[in-house]
Structure 1
Amino acid sequence: MGKNLVTAQIRGESRALCLGAVMVVCSAITYYILGTTVLPLYQKSVWTKVSNCHLIEIDIREHEKLEGKKVPQYPCLWVNVSAIGKSAILYHTEETKEKNHQCSYIPENLEDYQEARRDVETIRVRFKERQNFPCYSDPDETEKSVLYRRLYTPQMLLKWLFWPTFMLTGGIFIIMMVKLNQSLSMLAAQR
């Protein structure tokens, strides 16, 4: 009976050890992904200063209005604002500028032109209602554009770091408890 109890205990410890190891590996992978994708994007973002933007011009530009340049076949919302004492182009997020620097806002559904047009019109009306709004600018003024919303904020980094840290700590704790239990089991078996 004692041998069966020791065998069952070893199986339980092995399962717990595997669970702890899986948690540690998952958190390490998450940290790697975080470190190679999100952190560089956060560091690359220069729009850190909260400013007050005043709407100067807002226009929905169709592809034919953009001076014959090759542009996507969706309506383009163009927003010109006054921020930090200068005229600047407003972009929805960091990704908007990278996707198409000619558009301040890119609609989500690009397959259906009419739905994209309604989406852009809704955003245009919201901007018309609020002439002044907070935006993010570059404190060094190297960027001539401002952002309506930042994707990569310190709060976002904290959110991304919480669960991997929790899993890493939990996995290490499980492994330590299993090892401690194994040591105590060996001491008890020797007596």
Structure 2
Amino acid sequence: MFLWAGNKATDRYLIRSPSYQKPREYDVLDKKKTVTALKAGEDRAILLGLGMVVLSVMMYFVLGIPILRSYADRVWTEETSCTVVNSTIVCDVNCSYSCGTECRRSSRYPCLQVFVSLNSSGKVVRLMHNEETQDRHAECFYIPKCRSDYAAMQVVVQNISERLRSQHRVQCFADPTDRMDSAILTQMFGRGAVFHSLFWPTCTLIGGTIIIAMVKLTQYLSIMCERVSPIKG
């Protein structure tokens, strides 16, 4: 009788013992899945951080350094008040525009000449829209985008001329050394352009570095916790 009872108890133990092992196996599997998911998330975060760092370096070389160099080499640095002396359309200038793939057509735009008097020195100089105008066509104040419709470009230039005449006095930038007999209305490479060309790459670089540092810190703390857990157990 006792032997039968003993065998029965043993059978029950053998029947129940796998049921106690299943939760442990599930816990191990869940832990492995969690660790795998965390590792994949950490890898993606590190890739994101590295991508932001690389992008910031490229932005420095493509935008920051060229704009900073142009800002350092600029000629028209003295901001002063200019009085418009004359604003007239003197001639037409030939230009070309794209009409499709490997297709170029000729057109023309009116050349607006503007002369101003520098209130700081009283010198009369030619006024240009920005630094690019000096390189493309120094005789004209404004160079519109070349189009097939000449009448549309003429309306644009005529509106600019009338606006300058109505304002009569504008803020401009002159050459303090008097080497250039011209002034510009707006600066392409002013302090604002330099600020934005350096600010956004710097923010991207700091953001990427913070992401990488946070991931590495999380990994370090996780390793320390794993080392401390067996000691407590």
With normalisation by structure 2, the TM-score equals 0.75
Which residue in 2 is equivalent to 1:39?
68
Select 2:117's aligned residue among 55, 73, 82. 82
Does the residue aligned with 2:177 lie in a helix, a strand or coil? coil
Contact 2:172 2:186 in 1 (8 A): yes
Which residue in 1 is equivalent to 2:39?
10
- Equivalence map 1:58-77=2 (5 Å): 58-63=87-92, 72=95, 73-77=108-112
Sequence identity percentage: 37
Q: Which moved more, 1:161-170 or 1:28-37?
A: 28-37
Q: CA separation in 1, counterparts of 2:64 and 2:169?
A: 36
Does the residue aligned with 2:143 lie in a helix, a strand or coil? coil
2:48 matched to 1:19?
yes
Which residue in 2 is equivalent to 1:66?
none
Q: CA separation in 1, counterparts of 2:146 and 2:73?
A: 27
Larger Rg: 2
Q: Which moved more, 1:21-30 or 1:40-49?
A: 40-49
The structure, 1 or 2, with the larger RCO (C-alpha pairs under 8 Å, 6+ apart) is 1
Q: CA separation in 2, counterparts of 1:130 and 1:35?
A: 35
Q: Which amino acid aligns with 1:80?
A: F
Q: CA separation in 2, counterparts of 1:169 and 1:183?
A: 21
- What residue ranges of structure 1 are gaps of 5+ in the alignment? 64-69
Which residue in 2 is equivalent to 1:169?
206
- Equivalence map 1:45-60=2 (5 Å): 45-60=74-89
Q: Which moved more, 1:3-12 or 1:14-23?
A: 3-12
Select 2:139's aligned residue among 98, 102, 120. 102
Contact 1:56 1:82 in 2 (8 A): yes
- Equivalence map 1:152-191=2 (5 Å): 152-190=189-227, 191=229
Select 2:186's aligned residue among 149, 152, 155. 149
Does the residue aligned with 1:55 lie in a helix, a strand or coil? strand
- What residue ranges of structure 2 are gaps of 5+ in the alignment? 1-29, 96-107
Q: Which amino acid aligns with 1:41?
A: S
Q: CA separation in 1, counterparts of 2:33 and 2:223?
A: 15
